[in-house]
Amino acid sequence: MGQSQSETEKEVALQNIQELYRKFANECPSGNLHLHEFKRIFGINSDSSEEESAYMENVFRSFDTNKDDKIDFMEYVAAVHLVLRGKLEDKLKWSFKVYDRDGNGRLDRREVKHVVKIIHKLKKHSDPSLKQNIDDICERIFELVDKNKDGQISLEEFIEGAEKDPWVMDQLRLDFRPCGWFLEQKDKTS
């Protein structure tokens, strides 16, 4: 019985992948998702702010694992899997990668402030009454997360801080917008 359940799960996964491929092929007839298409899918256009555009560029780069300036179907499937079914630690590693704009494996105050500012601007779209001081948020994040007080946050500090403190998790979570879109696309294919 356990074996047939496993086969059923594989069938469901295959069916989901086929649905994803149909959606991907429809949205990206070239077989690749380019940055301008990625931005369009997420509603980023010429009216969007520079911060929103920069955020989506960072997200795009994090999914473009082979760094060829396009997302192919395999990268797309990996992104969907991460956003919808990924473990918390994997999502935090992905968030860290988006934050780490210079790719040095450490987050400085400038990088954290940049992304927190973007996240709060995006959150204000859904809650216009949201009023928070970005500098205060960044300062509190560093107080809670930068354990060795070197002015930089390592991946380990980032994961530990986010897992231990719900407020930090809320401030550092990057997947709210992509996750909503992926769920919406999944619902359209169901």
Confidence of residue 99 (pLDDT cuts 50, 70, 90): confident
Distance CA 91, CA 95 (A): 6
DSSP string, 1-55: -HHHHHHHHHHHHHHHHHHHHHHHHHH-TTSEE-HHHHHHHTT--TTS-HHHHHH
Helices marked H in the chain = 2-27, 35-41, 50-63, 73-85, 88-99, 109-126, 134-145, 155-164, 166-172, 176-189
pLDDT tens by residue, 114-162: 888 877 776 665 566 666 788 888 999 999 999 999 999 999 999 999 8
Query: Tokens standing for 64?
Result: 């473009």
Break the chain into its structural domains and give their ranges: 2-189
pTM score > 0.85 for this model? no
Distance CA 64, CA 41 (A): 16
- CATH number for the domain formed by residue range(s) 2-189: 1.10.238.10
Any idea what DSSP says for residue 64? -
Distance CA 155, CA 96 (A): 7
